[in-house]
Amino acid sequence: MDNLLQIKNGEVVERQRIPQVDFPRFFRIMTDFVANNGYIVQLFAYTDAGRTKLLAVVRASNLYVIGTEVGSEFPSLTLTIGTKFHLFEREIAEQYGIRPAGHPWLKMVRYHANVTGRPDVFGNDYRVDIPGKYEYFRVQGQSIHEVAVGPVHAGIIEPGHFRFQCAGEEVLHLEIQLGYQHRGVERLLTEVPQKRLPVLCESIAGDTAIGHNLCGCQAIEALASLKVEPGARTVRTIALELERLANHIGDLGALSGDVAFNPPAAYFGRIRGEFLNLLLVLCGNRFGKSLIRPGGITQVMTEEQRGIITAKIKELRPEITHVCDLLFSAHTVQARFEYTGTVGRKLADQLGLVGYCGRASGLEYDVREFFPTESYADLPPNTNKVTNGDVYSRAMVRREEIMHSLTLIGMLLAKPEEPHRPVAMAAHRLAPDRFVVTLNEGWRGEVSHCLLTDSEGKIARYKVKDPSFHNWTGLAMALRNQEISDFPLCNKSFNLSYCGFDL
Amino acid sequence: MFKVISNRLEQGYRTTNYPKTPIHLYSRYRGLPEVNPQCDPAIVRQCADLCPQDAILVEERKIDLGRCTFCGECAQVADGGFVRFSQNFEMGTARREDLITNGSLPDLAAHAKAHFKKLFGRSLQLRQVSAGGCNACEADTNVLGTPFFDLSRFGIDFVASPRHADGIHVTGPVTHNMKAALLATYEAVPAPKVVIASGGCAISGGPFYGSSEIVGDLNSLIPVDLYIPGCPPHPLTTLHALLAFFKK
């Protein structure tokens, strides 16, 4: 662990305190760290005084940071150490034109030109609009057929391309090509005036508006030394749990619909909306947009909102319990959920899955418990009982987390009222030459934002990571040797973000 | 079977009677803004400087609802001296310029093209294209299929194939990476066809305006017939716009 600097979630660190080691040493440290139950939170490139550097934020039971410098290429960590690095390295190659030499699957991530002007690692011409100028991996053989799906899907869903290699009904390999939603978020976050930052963070992934904006605002609060009142923290915690409830409940309904069991699909579809409406009660927007700003929240929770939320949860809790019982005790549902799309613990660990996808495979990691922010240090953690890594497990984790979140909100609402004031958006002076990383357990898992400021206190690099970045490969692996007809069910059990990934 | 019946009884009938009976959204919801035309120019300027979307036109004292994310920050200035947000969610317009408003919008039903009502008044099938959005617009369009809204009772449905569709409903700022697929989908819809721009992103780029990775204005690619503002539009905003624009 020597050379790694231990940091806290949301702690501001002077950039010069981040240990800078030469690449061979960085390589050895990463090898040891990952071998000892370590995971990657962030690994990205940035430019510092004309030189290209890598920065890694890693976690075991604590958080650590370390940096190194690279030239136009470096030996691939994926090749030697393992799969946890594969997408991070591909992203570095795409964003900064640096080649991870020997990467076993060096393929573009989102299809856009790099920021450095170096020759493109993938040989793409970005004047041509469409991604997919990539040779998909092909299984050879006379009886093999390919199925291509997307980018436009048969529903109201975000775009992405799925390429299946099948032998009859059996999927031998699934390749997922995203990037269609790429809006240049990270670059915008360094270019726009501060007043636009929260609105942008809320639109990284609309279903995780609270999760992402919380990360963004906590980072600004740290860099500008802003204090947040405990009452505001309570409301922010409630909002993050409401977001989790709305999404988990909606997904259980959609899973039910995908196995053609319609009653829970209809009921959960409506109940999901009730939770979105509670976010609207808090702040006027069904996704919680506009609620959180650096320094606190824009609208205080008075007795009126507290009363509405308390009454609604009291009304909905038995309904949710009953519909869950209906869903999980139906034999037809069990038959379709169990042993479908299994990702075992070993594979989940190799891929570094997070959130309910990781927990359903037995990886007990929850940011709320490990690196608590807001009010979470005072709240009890959740435990998962079903961890077989199949669709059933991912659904059960949702069910358990729904009941847990309802309890958490109940506890937060039962606290004596903590007076707090609304904050208005204002531009704050950020500490110069600083680094901060924030993590929160969004409903999909570990959301993380990492900021580096320059000598004038401007944001020099803004790195965003949605939990989907870790988990998409998990979905591809879950489909191995499954029937292709199980794809919608597997996909919904992961329910990953396209826009959160594409940025 | 018993559980199916008991849950059915517990859930009851949940579908709204809107538009026959009005719905009043909670007081914190921010819908159509009310603009004070006599407001002190200094306050208008202050609102414009604060606006993250640069959606306030100082000289004209208007708000561009096509750019606005309804974050409500301007309404905090001088206690709503220039802008207050009403709970009126009926904000769809047929023309882009009508979204630049001093607080009143033209009657959408009267501005709808008569031949659209004739063609699609009884049955409207839409193909949704997500072109770089944050998925909030998509999610709040999807809920129109849930029992509370039950869109299909009006003869309006979202379909899988553009070949089965009467038009496209587009969300997102149209990323470069999605432009070709969007245009191909549009081409695949048989004419006469309608184009709906849903959400601030499709109308103006929304929170992503200024990004080099987006087109940022759907109308610059294909002619838009109906604009539905919001970030995202409330499901009722979409429902109202579809009913007013297409139904007889």
Report the CATH number that the domain containing residue B235 is assigned in CATH: 3.40.50.12280
What is the structure's pLDDT at A1?
58
Q: Which of B137, B23, B80, B77 is nearest to A285 (CA)?
A: B137
pLDDT beneath 50: ranges in chain A:
none
Count CB atoms within 10 A of the CB of residue A6.
Answer: 10
What confidence score (pLDDT) does residue A416 get? 87
Written as one string, the DSSP assignment of A217-268 is: HHHHHHHTT----HHHHHHHHHHHHHHHHHHHHHHHHHHHHHTT-HHHHHHH
Closest residue to B175, CB basis, from A182, A264, A323: A182
Among A110, A129, A276, select the one facing B179 at the smallest CB separation: A129
Give the whole-angstrom CA distance, residue A95 versus residue A76.
16
Pair A358, A348: CB distance under 8 Å: yes
Whether residues A199 and B52 touch (CB distance < 8 A) is answered with yes
B139 belongs to a structural domain? yes
- List beta partners, residue A44: A55
The verdict on ipTM greater than 0.95 is no
Chain A CA closest to residue B145: A269
Does any domain span residue B7?
no
Residue type for position A324: C
Domain membership flag for residue B192: yes
Please name the residues in contact with A304: beta carbons below 8 A apart, sequence gap of 6 or more.
Answer: none
Comparing alpha-carbon positions, the chain A residue that sits nearest to B77 is A424
**Confidence (pLDDT) at B217:** 93
Order of strands across the sheet that contains A445-453: A13-14, A434-442, A445-453, A459-465
Residue with the two structure tokens 């429902």: B239
For residue A319, the chain B residues in CB contact (below 8 A) are 10-11
Structure tokens at A281: 């009660």
User: What is the nearest CA distance from B86 to chain A, expressed in angstroms?
Assistant: 11
Segment 221-260 of chain A within 8 Å of chain B by CB: none
- Chain B residues with CB inside 8 Å of A155's CB? 128, 158, 160
Q: How many CB contacts within 8 angstroms connect chain A with chain B?
A: 207
Choose from A112, A152, A268 for mutation: most chain B CBs within 10 A.
A152
* pLDDT score recorded for residue A130: 67
pLDDT given at position B14: 85
Q: Using the beta-carbon criterion (under 8 Å), do B72 and A322 form an inter-chain contact?
A: no
- Residue A331 tokens read as 């034999």
Q: What one-character DSSP code corresponds to residue A1?
A: -
| Residue B75 belongs to a domain | no
B164 in a domain, yes or no? yes
By C-alpha distance, the chain B residue nearest A257 is B146
Does the CB of A331 have a partner CB in chain B at under 8 Å?
Answer: no
pLDDT one-digit tens code per residue, A426-472: 899 999 999 999 999 999 999 999 999 999 999 999 999 999 999 99
Cβ <8 Å between B134 and A206: yes
pLDDT at position A283: 95
Instruction: Write the DSSP assignment of A306-368 as a string of letters.
Output: HHHHHHHHHHHHHHHHHHHHHHHT-HHHHHHHTTSS---HHHHHHHT--HHHHHTTT----HH
Residue B71 is assigned to a structural domain of this protein: no
Contact criterion met (CB below 8 Å) for A54 and A70: yes
Tokens 């958006």 belong to: A425
CA B98 to CA A308: how far, in whole Å? 36
Domain count, chain B: 1
Structural domains in chain A, CATH included, are 5-131 (no CATH), 185-502 (1.10.645.10)
- This prediction has a pTM of 0.95
Interface membership of A325 toward B (CB under 8 Å): yes
Tell me which chain A residues have a C-beta less than 8 angstroms from the C-beta of B147: 266, 269-270
Q: Does A213 touch chain B (CB under 8 A)?
A: no
Q: What is the pLDDT of residue A84?
A: 93
DSSP string, A170-225: EEEEEEEE--TT---HHHHHHHS-GGGHHHHHTTSSGGGHHHHHHHHHHHHHHHTT
Q: How distant is the Cα of B75 from the closest Cα of chain A, in angstroms?
A: 11
Cα B100 from chain centroid?
A: 14
| pLDDT value, residue B109 | 79
Residues of chain B where predicted confidence (pLDDT) is lower than 50:
none
Structural domain including B158 reads: 109-246
Task: Compute the distance between CA of residue A240 and CA of residue A380 in angstroms, rounded to an integer.
Answer: 15
The SS3 call for residue A148 is strand
Whether B208 and A203 lie within 8 Å, measured CB to CB? yes
Mean pLDDT, chain B, whole residue set: 92
**Of B215, B213, B216, the residue nearest B204 (C-alpha):** B216
CA dihedral A304, A307, A311, A314 (to 10 degrees): 150
Closest Cα in chain B, distance from residue A382 (Å): 27
Interchain pair A188, B70: CB under 8 A: no
Instruction: Return the residue matching tokens 């997102």.
Output: B172
In this complex, do A270 and B14 lie within 8 Å of one another by their Cβ atoms?
A: yes
Asked if residue B65 is part of any domain, the answer here is no
Residue of A nearest to B161 (CA): A154
Backbone angles phi, psi at A366, to 5 degrees: -145, 120
CA distance A80 to chain B (A): 33
pLDDT at A426: 87
